[in-house]
Amino acid sequence: MFIRRLPKFEYHAPESIEGAINLKLTYGEDGRYIAGGTDLLIAMKKREVTPHHLISLSNIDTLKGISMADDGGIRIGAMTTLGEIERSELVKRYATPLWDAVDVMASTQIRHLATIGGNLCSAVPSADSAPPLIALRAFLKILGPSGEKTVPVENFFKGPKETVLNGEEILTSILIPKVDENSGGCYRKLMRRKAMDLAIVGVAAWIKLDQEKKRCIDARVALGAVAPTPIRVEEVEKRLIGSIIDETSIGEAAKIAGTQCRPITDIRASAEYRCSMVEVFTKRAVLGAMDRIMAG
Amino acid sequence: MKTYSVVGKSVERTDARIKVTGQAYYAGDLTAPGMLHGKILRSPLAHGRILNIDTSKAKALPGVMAVITGRDFPGIPFGTRPDIRDQLPMPITKVHHFGEGVAAVAAVDEDTAEEALDLIKVDYEELPVVLTAEDALAPGAPLVNEFKNSNIAYASDFMFGDVEKGFKEAYYIKEEKFSSQRVSVGFIEPHACLAQVDSTGRILLQGSKQSPYITWRHMCRALDIPLSKMRIVNPFVGGGFSGKHDPFDVDFAAVRLAQITGRPVKIVLNYDEVLAAYRQRNAMDAKLRIGVKKNGEITALYAENILEGGPISGIGPFNIYYFGAFLNIPYKIPAIEYHGKLVYSNRAPCGTVRGQEIVLAQFCIDSLLHMVGEDLGIDQVELRAINAVPSNWVCANGIVVDVSGLSECIEKASEKIGWKESRKEKKEGRGIGFSCASHPSGPRLGGHFGSAVMLKLLEDGQVIITQGATEIGQGSNTVFCQMAAEELGLPFEYIIQGVSDSDTTIFDSGMFGDRATYWDGNATIAAARDLKKQLAEIVAPSLNAKPEEIEFENKRVFVRGEPARGMDWLQAVRKAYYEKGAPLYGRGNWAALDIDIVDWKTGKGNLVHGLDFIATAIEVAVDRETGQVELIKAVHGDDAGQPINPAMLEGQVNGGSAHMSGHALWEESLYDEKGRVLNYSWRDYKQPTAMDAPEYHVEHIHTHDPYGPFGAKGAGEASSCSTIAAIANGIYDAIGVRIKELPITPEKILKGLKEKEGK
């Protein structure tokens, strides 16, 4: 009912991914990986989960940092904090919608602790980092006892607080492909107040235009907080691709977005309000993306 | 006007550095040798009979030193007034709201205490809940409070002037209903205390208390001990806003557990407990009818107000009284009829919040006034100016307004916000709203109601001040140090703030109603004069002068008109100490004896001095697509008499306004159908952040109050009263949608826009 003190647990801080996986193999269900801990420790204080072993990923250096990959894409280690992403020139320049998202996430203090991997693995419907990564066509690298696999972000979520990760697997890094010419993206988040708030609706849009910057030749649109998981809305993309991006096409695409979401009514907003805001914010996110393409 | 050397200057707060460097000790930081940690078990039900509480297993847990329930107290109810003693330290027969404390544990550490809570078994019989005023007043409604045989906790009916005549004279009459939500009080520091009991049984309580006097009185009554058996020392307090007047189960449990174990006991709450189970502002259902002449002059006002206040009265009678009695200000209203009711419910217990229920009354009145202005085509600024209470005004209920700067406040606020310009060219989605307000500088109560200050002269020439007022973040300590320095002719740095301790301090009746600057300020001046008088008597013979000829200025003690004929302050102090063996204390007290005592029955009389006035103009931007409101700019024309510390005064004015912007737009404590609170975390209870605050401007309107210290009035609460209507009116001005139910959420705005377009 009320927040309690942390239950007792043993804290492990391995220095390698293999070490972490071995510990998880040892403790099984009684062990949990911990990244920044800003979600997990609260869940433990609420007794939603009570693992007796926390396996920290904080001492594994290979999970940290932001770098440009050989192919011109961006690699972000899963244990990179939101604050580091917020301060990254690479992210701001080449993965702008993700920068938009971290800029409006939680508070300075939380951003100092929370990691992007943690935000994705917690898999709450309102996770701000997910829609921009879906729109940016990002992939997740996952390492487990049986080897490595790569999953598109849009396929990562299975349900509220549920991902495709199983057992001992660790999300190691996020790979954002190279920015195409004449493309741009934007994330827009609706909050009740201007800071330290969850998304009521989050929309990320990425648009690619033809050489003349007239017609849309590719698009990605993803929604947060309006379905059991962050979702990609292909129907919206279809309406945009091949069209001149103008008031009509944006308006129609936005209307489609409003019908594609499946929100719930809760204490934060009604389902009806969320749907109409998906429409508004899809419009704004697409316009934001267009502004950036035109400016770039 | 006299020029001051310390008063009127924005000196640094006495507690600024210690607070910003984290060195200030709050109740939760305190420790004592052998200290135990206490935890409270809370009711999962909003309403239920307690059939049995089995604490045996908890008591048997190693490390647990004591477990108590309501039965461990004498069973004596307490309350603000003798006729509303309707509250026990902890419940015995029934629980009244979600999260109510039903048992408490003291153990060697917090983990053990928490574990013990799991071992306490409480058998409840669930009872139907009363959630709203409508529920409470329904025929056959379940009774909430076991000491009362009605759900009406308190009622007032006031009649000022000839209301019938007033409405007859009206050219236009408008009637509207308004409502407001449950909000939490909003201080930063959760409730916490450390209780100790010495070998004689004397209790020492150090808690986060706003009004230690109220806590002290109520606790001694309910514990059935004389006042002298309890000592209260107030540590730094992290905000009060009227949420920390009375004692809570936290305080009672810590004391009782310390009594039983003979060891110090500390209890510190988490904020989710505060949001779920402690003081909130009443929900309001009000109906107001206003009559005006063709030019907008108000001829009469009729007001009905039902406050839903949770399972106890608390200071609810004051809320009813304040709402009604202060309908008389800030506008000239010749006739007023008022019917107020406080009802019990099974939601969290209410106190009040900053500005008391004048906040709610003013939201109604100034919203209604705006609507009248729209209907009659009268300019909003002119409408307020024509009705503004002037100086030397006698209100319909008998309140005498000595000095009012309200007209100037209105003028300055409208000028600075750019009202006239905004009428010429209206920006899409932008609007400006006005509201005025007035707040008195403390009422005269029954029982102890005076303020006392003591100045202790140290041999190095510095002076320690202790006063009955409590520093809760509002800056009162700094203000009294400034006043003492001014009156003694010393630099501000010469005055040292003493502790707030019931053994050495005569506590004020309470920290509420903008009273401290005014009452304790006057007592500070009296204490300084007393000290000067004593020192003058010692010094005068050596200067061949009479004591009454001695002046104190600029660290010098000299014969009036002859600055050279004197000595340094330090020399005078040493003379007292070393030559006369006379360490000195200056004592002062003050009470407004020429005003009338609170008249609960009629609301009539000259009830207050030092009415401070404010005119608030707020510019808002409304997003027609999302319904979101952005506060752009807020201007307060503020008459607090002589500002003692202008920077701190601005902090109070803007702080009160920012605080109530939360009540206007974001905050609401939500309950489900069983009375369980739904949003008792900071994630879901939306208080505004600094990012949500507008650009603030305060225009000080200097006036001189004849009774206030250095001409000052109370300050800080008026802006709370003027903010909500200003925002609501600004929204109407922006998009033509009138919201009368708080909070003004985006969904309500979109609904309003839809209805408007549908017409």
Please report the domains of chain B, with CATH numbers, ordered by start residue: 16-22+445-590 (3.30.365.10), 31-126+195-239+245-270 (3.90.1170.50), 280-444+597-758 (3.30.365.10)
Confidence of residue A81 (pLDDT cuts 50, 70, 90): very high
Is the CA virtual torsion A195, B628, B739, B409 positive or negative?
positive
B610 Rama class: left (phi>0) / alpha (psi -120 to 50) / beta: left
Q: Which residue of A has its CA nearest to B670?
A: A267
For B118, phi and psi rounded to 5 degrees? Answer: -65, -20
Look at residue B747 and tell me whether its pLDDT is greater than 60.
yes
Report pLDDT for A167. 87
Report pLDDT for B1. 56
- Dist CA B495 CA B715 (whole Å): 23
Look at residue A169 and tell me whether its pLDDT is greater than 70.
yes
Mark yes or no for CB contact B750/A267 under 8 Å. no
On whether any CB of chain B is under 8 Å from the CB of A269, the answer is yes
Taking residues B426-441, report their average pLDDT. 96
Residues of B in contact with A1 (CB under 8 A): 42, 44, 99
Look at residue B103 and tell me whether its pLDDT is greater than 80.
yes
Mark yes or no for CB contact B670/A4 under 8 Å. no
Closest CA of chain B from A132, distance in Å:
21
- Dist CA B217 CA B499 (whole Å): 20
Report pLDDT for A287. 98
Closest CA of chain B from A266, distance in Å:
10
Closest CA of chain A from B643, distance in Å:
33
Q: Which of A69-73, B441-445, B479-483 has the highest mean pLDDT?
A: B479-483
CATH 3.30.390.50 in chain A is located at: 183-295
Q: What average pLDDT does the structure give for chain A?
A: 97
Look at residue B759 and tell me whether its pLDDT is greater than 90.
no
Report pLDDT for B340. 98
On whether any CB of chain A is under 8 Å from the CB of B695, the answer is no
Taking residues B89-99, report their average pLDDT. 98
> Is A61-176 a domain of CATH 3.30.465.10?
yes
Is A180:A208 a contact under the CB 8 Å cutoff?
yes
Residues of A in contact with B628 (CB under 8 A): 190
Architecture of domain A10-56: 2-Layer Sandwich (3.30)
Q: Which of B717, B726, B709, B707 is nearest to B638 (CA)?
A: B717
* Cα-based distances in Å from A85 to A38, A223, B172: 17, 21, 61
Q: Which of B223, B172, B526 is nearest to B383 (CA)?
A: B172
Residues of B in contact with A285 (CB under 8 A): none
Look at residue B758 and tell me whether its pLDDT is greater than 90.
no
Residues of A in contact with B273 (CB under 8 A): 2
Mark yes or no for CB contact A280/B626 under 8 Å. yes
Taking residues B163-174, report their average pLDDT. 98
Residues of B in contact with A192 (CB under 8 A): 666, 686, 746
Confidence of residue B7 (pLDDT cuts 50, 70, 90): very high
Taking residues B365-376, report their average pLDDT. 98
Mark yes or no for CB contact A3/B272 under 8 Å. yes
- Dist CA B135 CA B140 (whole Å): 10
Taking residues B446-463, report their average pLDDT. 95
Report pLDDT for B671. 98
Least confidently predicted of A114-128, B141-155, B435-449: B435-449
Complex ipTM value:
0.96
- Dist CA B289 CA B304 (whole Å): 9
Tokens of A43: 């869940």
CATH superfamily of A183-295: CO dehydrogenase flavoprotein, C-terminal domain (3.30.390.50)
CATH 3.30.43.10 in chain A is located at: 10-56
Q: Which of B469, B519, B303, B439 is nearest to B720 (CA)?
A: B439
Confidence of residue B457 (pLDDT cuts 50, 70, 90): very high
For residue A265, give the 3-state DSSP assignment. Answer: coil
Q: Which of A69, A202, A228, A214 is nearest to A135 (CA)?
A: A202
Look at residue B713 and tell me whether its pLDDT is greater than 60.
yes
The per-residue pLDDT for range B240-282, each reduced to its tens digit, is 999 999 999 999 999 999 999 999 999 999 999 999 999 999 9
- Dist CA A200 CA B750 (whole Å): 16
On whether any CB of chain B is under 8 Å from the CB of A44, the answer is no
On whether any CB of chain B is under 8 Å from the CB of A87, the answer is no
On whether any CB of chain A is under 8 Å from the CB of B110, the answer is yes
* Percent share of chain A, pLDDT over 90: 98
Taking residues B193-201, report their average pLDDT. 97
Q: Which of B81, B92, B721 is nearest to B440 (CA)?
A: B721
Residues of B in contact with A193 (CB under 8 A): 666, 686, 688-689, 691-692
On whether any CB of chain A is under 8 Å from the CB of B20, the answer is no
Tokens of B458: 């140290």
Mark yes or no for CB contact B689/A196 under 8 Å. yes
A166 Rama class: left (phi>0) / alpha (psi -120 to 50) / beta: beta
Confidence of residue B27 (pLDDT cuts 50, 70, 90): very high
The per-residue pLDDT for range B115-130, each reduced to its tens digit, is 999 999 999 999 999 9
Mark yes or no for CB contact A280/B692 under 8 Å. no
- Dist CA B79 CA B396 (whole Å): 31
Q: Which residue of B has its CA nearest to A6?
A: B111
The per-residue pLDDT for range B495-519, each reduced to its tens digit, is 999 999 999 999 999 999 999 999 9
- Dist CA B326 CA B160 (whole Å): 11
Q: Count interface pairs A-B at CB distance under 8 A.
A: 51
Contacts of B139 (CB under 8 A, 6+ apart): none
Mark yes or no for CB contact B746/A273 under 8 Å. yes
From the list A193, A273, A277, which residue is nearest B692 (CB)? A193
Closest CA of chain B from A268, distance in Å:
7
Closest CA of chain B from A104, distance in Å:
12
Is B546:B490 a contact under the CB 8 Å cutoff?
no
From the list B276, B678, B747, which residue is nearest A270 (CB)? B747
The per-residue pLDDT for range B673-682, each reduced to its tens digit, is 999 999 999 9
CATH 3.30.465.10 in chain A is located at: 61-176
Report pLDDT for B173. 98
For B430, phi and psi rounded to 5 degrees? Answer: -105, 145
Is B334:B165 a contact under the CB 8 Å cutoff?
no
Report pLDDT for B2. 72
| E-assigned strand segments in A115-230 | 139-144, 147-152, 157-159, 162-163, 170-176, 183-190, 201-209, 216-224
Taking residues B648-668, report their average pLDDT. 98
The per-residue pLDDT for range B269-315, each reduced to its tens digit, is 999 999 999 999 999 999 999 999 999 999 999 999 999 999 999 99
- Dist CA B479 CA B717 (whole Å): 16
- Are β-strands B36-42 and B101-107 bridged in parallel, bridged antiparallel, or unpaired? antiparallel
* Percent share of chain A, pLDDT over 70: 100
Radius of gyration of chain A (CA): 19
Is B728:B433 a contact under the CB 8 Å cutoff?
yes
Tokens of B463: 């002076």
DSSP secondary structure code for residue B712 in this structure: B
The per-residue pLDDT for range A242-251, each reduced to its tens digit, is 999 999 999 9
Centre a 10 Å sphere on the Cβ of residue B270 and count the other Cβ atoms it contains.
Answer: 17
Centre a 10 Å sphere on the Cβ of residue B2 and count the other Cβ atoms it contains.
Answer: 9
Q: B180 pairs with which residues across the strands?
A: B284
Report pLDDT for A296. 79
Helices of type H across B138-198: 163-168
Report pLDDT for B81. 87
Surface of A (186-205) touching B: CB under 8 A: 190, 192-198
Closest CA of chain A from B390, distance in Å:
39
Mark yes or no for CB contact B686/A192 under 8 Å. yes
Mark yes or no for CB contact A194/B689 under 8 Å. yes
